[in-house]
Structure 1
Amino acid sequence: MPPAALWRTLRAHQVYGANTDVGKTIVSTLLCKALQPQGPVSFLKPVSTGPLDEADDRHIQRYAPHTRTQCLYQFDEPVSPHIAAHQPSQRTTSVPSVPSDRQLLDAIHQTLTSWAHPHQPAHALVETAGGVHSPGPNGTSQADLYRPLRLPIILIADARLGGISASIAAYESLQLRGYDVHSVLLFRDDYYQNHGYLHAYFAKKAIPLVAVPPPPPRPDPTDPDAARRDVEAMRRYYEHTVREGRLGSVVEALERKHVERWERLEAMAEKAHAMIWYPFTQHRGVAAQDINVIDSACGDYFQSYQRDTLEVREAASASASASALRATFDGSASWWTQGLGHGNPDLALSAAYAAGRYGHVMFPGNIHEPALALAETLLQSQGNPRLQRVFYTDNGSTGMEVAVKMGLRAACARYGWDASTEPIRILGLKGSYHGDTIGVMDCSEPSTYNKKVEWYRGRGHWFDFPQVSMKEGKWTISMPETALGAELQYGSLSEVFDLEARLHSEAGRRYRAYIHQTIQRLVQQEGVKFGALIMEPIILGAGGMLFCDPLFQRCLADVVRQHPELFGEQIAPQPSSPTGETEGNRDWSGLPIIFDEVFTGLYRLGRRSAASFLQVHPDISVHAKLLTGGLVPLCTTLASEEIFRAFLSAEKSDALLHGHSYTAHAVGCQVAVDSLQTMMRMDHEGSWQEYQNDWTIPTPTTETSVWSVWSHGLVRDLSHAASVEGVFALGTVLSIALKDQQGGGYTSTAAQGLQQRLAAGSEQFAVHSRVLGNVLYLMSSLTSQPGSLRGIEEVLRGELL
């Protein structure tokens, strides 16, 4: 887990250089001396290269006595750390091996924690090596390597020729990664006068800049007394520069910004409580202390401010030096959007590029490269030859609104229905949820989400369906209707998804008969007209993480496509392939099939498309959530050419009159292109092979593995827990249904106790999670590391076993 770094009494700053050889250590020495009247001062050099007698911490010891210094890893070779650390002659001052990025961060955090006095203000400087993007021991850019700490920055600008450009570029690189730059320093050079230009540049950003005199030139190295003279000259330089008071404004700024940061964090919850109206929240009973204050997020973790814990620690004068920020695993993937980690610098750069190139441009009648590239990428990557058109919206709910409009128009046009005079309904599944806008609310059965919305009517029929979970070590399919047969059990999840074998089973026959008879009764006896079949493939998310038997969804699609006469179509059905294709014809049959892959698509379940589990090609498919890797809102509704043609006519009023001011927002489209390419590259390169190996169990008829980032052993063990009704894991999703004597459901409180215990966590680490009634689910990103996930699994074992 990334260490979170904020202490009330310790003013810790990271010193970055705009380039190599800009005087970081000289400025750090000046700062150490200037800060000493304020209290204890410490200097930390995480990684140093070159001869030991020339090390930066030795320089501080010589010229800023009374400063506590430490170097964590010292390597002999005077080259970049990523080269020096791997030289045969490498030597370290601590562990005799090259530290991992995580080990380095942990060592920094532990050192700073040991320097934080419970009651005495102190300062610490953490000096980097080289420039902002100079690599660390493992080749990671320092700007990314140290980002989890997110220490405020003192930037040492470059006073040399070309230094203006280098300094601004360094600042922008830091800002792009979410750092706060508190001050800028550089040497004064009256020839190039970089300080004048940069002073004006940073003044616009309210960042103080101070130019200090350059150090004295080094004596002639041939002078036998050169070393002594150099030391004396540098001592005079440091004493004179500090005595002049040039750094007083920097010291004041660092103190002021530290206090302001604390004041903001302490006030945020109260202000939010007074001003914010939260979604899906009953505010009666919600207090300010219930609101989680998030200072930043990085990778899979929030850095959360622990106000109450801090107050208790300080009152007890125990462990008061611990950080006030705690790493909290984002167990809901920030409402299912996180795919490539919080603060992903590549996606941030993509967004900045598109923002700089376009901002936002009007879309109707125009095209820009990101929108076209995203459309091409999606259509080519989905593996669905039906899909030929892309419609852009800004979130899953509005994307589903568009899908419903598409499907209903196509059905009404084919069957000659007039929706203004007769109700047109949809077919779906119980527990489905497609968003909170008025139209798609009506596509779900009455529930807590919609039945108290005044305009809700509920226009459809929703099949109850068999559900999959592991119970007492067996993959179990529970039946809601006796007509569907008895409970089924399988030895592996791969067997559940082996549709080629299961289609001709007794269960498949019963499913098809039940679905056919139900639709026939509704249409022929009750006169219901259906305009579309809408499904969330495999997992119904907001309805309670309901894992539908994939065979049932496949049979539902097959019945709809293979029996168009059920819906009034006066043509004989043609033999079709498992995907519903007919020879030479990709037109829809029976009803347009809409797949809501807002949650389940784009690798959420371990595959590029959730439709591939069912081997069904929908006529309309909706994608959001992971589309932009968790950075910006965007949604796409993909449709077949036949659906598109239903809107073609000579009348403008027949067009799909739906849109948003920010339709095909260039920033979102560019981020989505890069996000999708990253995910597909990870898939191609086998980034999830370790997880797949844990779950792969070969079956006679399928070679495609069904897998999860959550370990197979965890699922098996939790399925035996006395308090667990059922559990499953697929892709990045882990769902735990807890037993509830009241029957469960969205209003159940059975999972709240577990949720609260995970949130309480420990002083260093907690888990943020969401519950859906008696179901607690956890979700990782696609870049989550096995070590982090196994640590969370141990927490779950401790709570439930």
Structure 2
Amino acid sequence: KVWWPFTQHGSIKADEDITLIDAAHGDNFITVDSDGDRKPLFDACASWWTQGVGHGESSMALAAAAAAGRYGHVIFPDTVNDPAVSLAERLLSSKGPGHNWASRVFYSDDGSTAIEVGIKMAMKQYAILHGKNLADNNGNLVVLAQEDCYHGDTLGCMDVAVPSVYNEGQHPWYQPRGLFLETPTLGFVEGTCKILNSGADLSDDDLKFGGIGAAMDVASRLSTPLYAQYRDDISAKWGAFESSTEQTLGCVVMEPLLMGAGGMKFIDPLWQRALVDEARARRVPVLYDEIASGMLRLGYMSCKDVLGVAPDVACYAKLLTGGLVPLSVTLATDEVFQAFYGEDKAQALLHGHSYTAHPVGCAASLHALDAYDRVLLKDDDGNHNNSGYFDEDEVQKLSLHPLVSESFALGTVLAVKLVGSGSGYTAVSISKPVVEHLRRHGGVFARPLGNVVYIMVSPFTKAEECQKLTEVLKDAIDAVAADHGTAA
């Protein structure tokens, strides 16, 4: 009687198409097959990218239970409670993603809504900076975002994306509202780490790296010709858009380093840095959608540590509560907060939820952040860096497989793009038999994104387990290659 999300029920043909999860612990589901046999499967999609401290973690359950027993749920406007205040302080502290830039934390229920709130914040700040009235803009104030982006399924978030299976035909009011730029990506192709879709007039050698670390070293790359070309290209397209339409770009919305639902695409951080720098020059607020990429998912509490520049607004969810319950936050600078400050209620940010800042979620988040702090590594400069869960040499070798067009890994995410057409949920490829082999023979529960098969672990997954998962993935690709008559 359930209606599954992101699922075509007509594709469910037999009981074997459904996975019965009886329990979960650590990184594993405990599944039950049609014969009643129990089998552990590694949760390689991190339960839609939420898992942080592991399934069924007892101390997390106790922390949430304590908040439930003490508070249940209590109203939040004009009130305070210890979990909500403590979490806000933690997120803004030296150990949080808002360190040294954010001054306020706004609570909401899920990632999509956090983005909706963030867009309201950024657009209001733009209006204040440029002496405009949001009520008089006639829908002409729009966003600059990345092509193939995905920010959620509420209407405002749907509008911050080009037409796709996620939005076109899903809602009669959907209308793409913005300029959507093609985004340069990173990947190992035939053993070489390189930039794809750069659009730059440079030699192929100028787009190659000795490894992932060199690609992530934005500070060292700012003086390169590629940065200048990125900046010029973004500026030209920005200017052409505004001069050829009646629309104005009021904020930049980006998924830093990784576009998840768009096909697990790793973005060249230098391009994103150039985009932020151009926005700063034009006094346009920037929103980081770190729903999927933040909180150590890519090895950093915030991707600003790679880009080298902070946003005006940033959104977090998924790993925020360690994977236990829904909760999201939108962080903002004091300048953004001041855009809503005054005596008139109509000037305030009039947005909220019944369960805003619910104590159970805030307590779970505090527990998760304490846990993450125990696994944080620091580089020589004292910056947090947990970027290397998967062995880079093994990731590179995967790109040499004849059924693999590219591979890449950062933090807890390994993604392999298989030969096929397109990306995202509508793509056609051989990913389905690879995933089926992983489940039946590899003990791994994975979900493809079109022609991309990915493995996502938790910040607590050991390197030995990541190595095993990489090997199991290669075995699955080898098995499918053999079935297709393609030798590895």
TM-score by length of structure 2 reads 0.92
Q: 1:184-263 counterparts in 2 under 5 A?
A: none
Distance 1:664 1:743, change over 3 A: closer
Q: Which residue pairs with 1:719 in the alignment? A: 399
- Cα shift readout 1:273-331 (whole Å, capped 9, x = no counterpart): xx010000111131351111011000000000011xx3xxxxxxxxxxxx810010100
Measure how far apart 1:745 and its partner are. 4.8
Aligned counterparts of 2:254 and 2:458: Cα–Cα separation in 1: 24
Identify the match of residue 44 of structure 2 among 319, 331, 339.
331
Question: Are 2:433 and 1:753 equivalent residues in the alignment?
Answer: yes
Measure how far apart 1:790 and its partner are. 2.6
Q: Which residue pairs with 2:276 in the alignment? A: 557
Measure how far apart 1:472 and its partner are. 1.8
Q: Which residue pairs with 2:118 in the alignment? A: 403
Measure how far apart 1:485 and its partner are. 7.0
**8 Å contact kept, 1:494–1:706:** no
Question: Are 2:156 and 1:477 equivalent residues in the alignment?
Answer: no
Aligned counterparts of 1:659 and 1:489: Cα–Cα separation in 2: 47
Identify the match of residue 160 of structure 2 among 443, 455, 463.
443
Aligned counterparts of 2:203 and 2:356: Cα–Cα separation in 1: 47
* Partner amino acid, structure 2, of 1:455: W
Distance 1:618 1:288, change over 3 A: same
* Partner amino acid, structure 2, of 1:477: I
**8 Å contact kept, 1:484–1:511:** no
Aligned counterparts of 1:622 and 1:778: Cα–Cα separation in 2: 23
Q: Which residue pairs with 1:504 in the alignment? A: 223
Identify the match of residue 633 of structure 1 among 317, 323, 326.
326
The SS at the match of 2:409 is strand
Aligned counterparts of 2:114 and 2:139: Cα–Cα separation in 1: 25
Aligned counterparts of 2:393 and 2:375: Cα–Cα separation in 1: 25
The SS at the match of 2:6 is coil
Q: Which structure has the bigger radius of gyration?
A: 1
**8 Å contact kept, 2:300–2:387:** no
- Cα shift readout 1:221-257 (whole Å, capped 9, x = no counterpart): xxxxxxxxxxxxxxxxxxxxxxxxxxxxxxxxxxxxx
**8 Å contact kept, 2:124–2:134:** no
Q: Which residue pairs with 2:3 in the alignment? A: 277
Q: Which residue pairs with 2:150 in the alignment? A: 433
The SS at the match of 2:325 is coil
The SS at the match of 1:770 is coil
The SS at the match of 1:371 is helix
Measure how far apart 1:792 and its partner are. 2.1
How many pairs were matched up? Answer: 470
Aligned counterparts of 2:177 and 2:443: Cα–Cα separation in 1: 42
Measure how far apart 1:383 and its partner are. 5.4
Q: 1:639-650 counterparts in 2 under 5 A?
A: 639-650=332-343
**8 Å contact kept, 1:428–1:533:** yes
**8 Å contact kept, 1:432–1:540:** yes
Q: Which residue pairs with 2:484 in the alignment? A: none
Structure 2: which 5+ runs fail to align?
478-487
Q: 1:477-496 counterparts in 2 under 5 A?
A: 477-479=195-197, 481=199, 486=204, 488-496=207-215
Q: Which residue pairs with 2:92 in the alignment? A: 379
Q: Which residue pairs with 1:106 in the alignment? A: none
Measure how far apart 1:466 and its partner are. 1.1
Aligned counterparts of 1:715 and 1:626: Cα–Cα separation in 2: 24
Q: Which residue pairs with 2:266 in the alignment? A: 547
Aligned counterparts of 2:203 and 2:141: Cα–Cα separation in 1: 31
* Partner amino acid, structure 2, of 1:719: S
The SS at the match of 1:599 is coil
Aligned counterparts of 1:712 and 1:403: Cα–Cα separation in 2: 35
Q: 1:527-542 counterparts in 2 under 5 A?
A: 527-542=246-261
Identify the match of residue 355 of structure 1 among 63, 68, 78.
68
Question: Are 2:139 and 1:460 equivalent residues in the alignment?
Answer: no
**8 Å contact kept, 2:264–2:415:** yes
- Cα shift readout 1:583-607 (whole Å, capped 9, x = no counterpart): xxxxxxx111100000000111111
Measure how far apart 1:435 and its partner are. 0.6
Distance 1:529 1:419, change over 3 A: farther
Aligned counterparts of 2:203 and 2:179: Cα–Cα separation in 1: 21
Aligned counterparts of 1:767 and 1:786: Cα–Cα separation in 2: 16
Measure how far apart 1:501 and its partner are. 1.8
The SS at the match of 1:729 is strand
* Partner amino acid, structure 1, of 2:30: Q
Question: Are 2:478 and 1:798 equivalent residues in the alignment?
Answer: no
Q: Which residue pairs with 1:584 in the alignment? A: none
* Partner amino acid, structure 2, of 1:749: V
Distance 1:484 1:561, change over 3 A: farther
- Cα shift readout 1:118-167 (whole Å, capped 9, x = no counterpart): xxxxxxxxxxxxxxxxxxxxxxxxxxxxxxxxxxxxxxxxxxxxxxxxxx
Distance 1:776 1:652, change over 3 A: same
**8 Å contact kept, 1:412–1:419:** no
Question: Are 2:411 and 1:731 equivalent residues in the alignment?
Answer: yes
**8 Å contact kept, 1:498–1:702:** no
Aligned counterparts of 2:3 and 2:411: Cα–Cα separation in 1: 33
Greater CA deviation, 493-502 or 645-654?
645-654
* Partner amino acid, structure 1, of 2:147: K
Aligned counterparts of 1:459 and 1:330: Cα–Cα separation in 2: 36
Q: Alpha carbon RMSD of aligned pairs, Å? A: 2.0
**8 Å contact kept, 1:708–1:733:** no
Aligned counterparts of 2:124 and 2:227: Cα–Cα separation in 1: 32
Aligned counterparts of 1:628 and 1:383: Cα–Cα separation in 2: 16
Question: Are 2:292 and 1:599 equivalent residues in the alignment?
Answer: yes
Question: Are 2:292 and 1:612 equivalent residues in the alignment?
Answer: no
Identify the match of residue 19 of structure 2 among 292, 300, 316.
292
Measure how far apart 1:560 and its partner are. 1.1
The SS at the match of 2:342 is coil
Identify the match of residue 444 of structure 2 among 767, 776, 782.
767
**8 Å contact kept, 1:485–1:510:** no
* Partner amino acid, structure 1, of 2:53: L
Q: Which residue pairs with 2:481 in the alignment? A: none
Structure 1: which 5+ runs fail to align?
1-274, 311-322, 565-589, 687-691, 693-697
The SS at the match of 2:7 is coil
TM-score by length of structure 1 reads 0.57
The SS at the match of 1:279 is coil
* Partner amino acid, structure 2, of 1:624: A
Aligned counterparts of 1:670 and 1:792: Cα–Cα separation in 2: 32
- Cα shift readout 1:323-370 (whole Å, capped 9, x = no counterpart): 810010100000000011100011000001101111110111100000
Q: Which residue pairs with 1:238 in the alignment? A: none
**8 Å contact kept, 2:313–2:331:** yes
The SS at the match of 2:444 is strand
